Amino acid sequence: MHYSKPIKVQPVKTQAFNDQKPGTSGLRKKVAQFKKTDYLQNFVQSIFNCLPNLPGSTLILGGDGRYYNRESIQIILRMAAANRVGKVILGQGGILSTPAASHLIRKHKALGGIILSASHNPGGMNGDFGIKYNVSNGGPAPEEFTNAVYEETKKITEYHIAPIKGIPLDLLGHYTLEKMNIEIINPVQDYAELMKCQFNFDKIKMLINQDNFELCFDAMYAVTGPYAKQILEDELCATPGSVIRGESLPDFGGIHPDPNLVHARRLVAKMFDEEETGSAPNFGAASDGDGDRNMIMGDYFFVTPSDSLAVIAANAHLIPAFKNGLKGIGRSMPTSQAADRVAEKLGIPCYETPTGWKFFGNLLDAGRINLCGEESFGTGSDHVREKDGLWAVLCWLNILAERKQSVEDIVRQHWAEYGRNYYTRHDYENIPSESANKLIDTLLANLNTLKGKSFGERTITIADNFSYHDPVDDTVSKNQGIRILFDDGARIIFRLSGTGTEGATLRLYIERYEKDIQQHDLDTQEALYDLIEIAELIANIIGYTGMHEPTVIT
């Protein structure tokens, strides 16, 4: 389809908004905020204004299918045409998982991509919406770029948009808007082909087709439904119905698409046989709104994201994606130190970065690491520049196919060899921002008094606000989380999250190491009880938030 009539584009006058500062994963607000006149347009134009090579370039565009996704894509296409973009490659129906978008940016050597997602946040007309820009390596934009975009949003006075009708998003094919080409592609196909290069599909298929093997993948009515159905059910021949809640719905079926023990309740019920079917599946997994997070479970067994990263690292030699070996491992600072122990045994570096996948990008591009992960259910490698939920699931299936053991046996043998890092995260959500900031400010003011202080048999050796010196580009990122480190290796971490849209979320991370195999069967919260109490003594969470228990515990 071709619109041959020349389009006269007149700038649209606008007024700046004062709340368009991107967080760790772009700009996230309530749908109602994005639907305000010129709100989305201002932010998109600010991105375009910060891209000097935009005219004639190629951009990738897609999102997680949440409410307002389709309308936003039509607006962005019209703005891209008015800003003289050369080509836009778009997922059919406006759908692209975040890792699939990262892959397309790299495959087509695009200038970058606009991803419409609020990740694991709730959807629907009263839910959240988000937008972020990924750069040419396929990864999230660095702080330098997002800061420039924010400065642009504060002074923007006009934007450019072509006065043309929208295009049919559900029809594969090529279109032209003025001089801009649009290609609508199957959103799954390129990603599925990439996965075939990463894993031994033949061995995984043999595992899945055993009479005594059953898997369950919970797509949570989010973007990975079509990806999981094609890869797990069509390519790997899992029993039809192995992918549950596999339809991509604008409101995610009214659920919170965050793959953890609280929100992936249907999967948890199946894996712990709460549905009383007589047995639980051998392997369970879930992914989130935009497909970049994962949760791994065995029958009656939950694998923490930190342990998952460490187990994948220890078994990387079994996975074709790592046929040339592990170069190094990256983990975010709040993530447990389980992966560090694997790296030490393998004789490779383990880098501790701030939270945010963009910090792994430099290490991946420089070839310093080819495996990385965060405690927030994110795992990835150098195949893309985003965390990748289905990729992590396939890692585990490949390991299971090679080792011919259960998920629980593999994890327990890992603990026996490396020791167990007892680890938990407590989320206190929707705290009034003023209260949350006071808590953090008080902690910062008291840091100098904490070093050397004893709590029972533990003594604090380090109390600081984590700063990261990037070994690749020498940039320094400060204020990345308050660390309380003890002489026995235990850790307490406090952070305010940048992924929510209402109030503030305080994240508390607790960790201690246990070498004694006889002590590996403790309940996690009981094993960490004394440290949880110390965290309360240090921070007075109850006093500042009024919350006597976390919203979510993982």
DSSP SS3 for 255: coil
Structure tokens at 215: 């898997």
Q: How far is it, in rounded angstroms, from Cα 271 to Cα 282?
A: 8
Q: How far is it, in rounded angstroms, from Cα 168 to Cα 171?
A: 6
Write down the H helix ranges in 200-260: 201-208, 224-228
Q: How far is it, in rounded angstroms, from Cα 332 to Cα 524?
A: 21
Q: Give me the count of residues in the chain.
A: 554
Structure tokens at 297: 């479970």
DSSP SS3 for 455: strand
Listing from the earlier edge strand, what are the strands of the sheet with 458-465? 454-455, 458-465, 482-486, 491-496, 504-514, 420-431, 552-553
Structure tokens at 537: 């003594």
Structure tokens at 327: 């170069």
Structure tokens at 299: 């029958």
Which run of H or of E encompasses 126?
none
Catalytic residues: 119
Report residue 499 CA to chain centroid gap. Answer: 10
Q: How far is it, in rounded angstroms, from Cα 162 to Cα 296?
A: 46
**DSSP code at position 251:** T
∠ CA 205-209-214, nearest 5°, is 110
Structure tokens at 477: 């990122």
Q: What stretches of 239-334 adopt beta strand conformation (E)?
A: 243-244, 283-287, 294-298, 301-303, 329-332
The closest alpha carbon to 428, from 259, 552, 529, 546, belongs to 552
Which run of H or of E encompasses 49?
helix 39-49
Structure tokens at 360: 């792994």
The half-sphere exposure of 133 on its side-chain side, counting CA atoms within 13 A, is 27
Residues near 499 by Cβ (< 8 Å), separated by ≥ 6? 23, 24, 25, 28, 119, 120, 121, 505
∠ CA 326-330-332, nearest 5°, is 160
The DSSP result for 453-511, as a single string, is -EETTEEEEEEEE--EE-TTT--EE----EEEEETTS-EEEEEE-SS-SSSEEEEEEEE
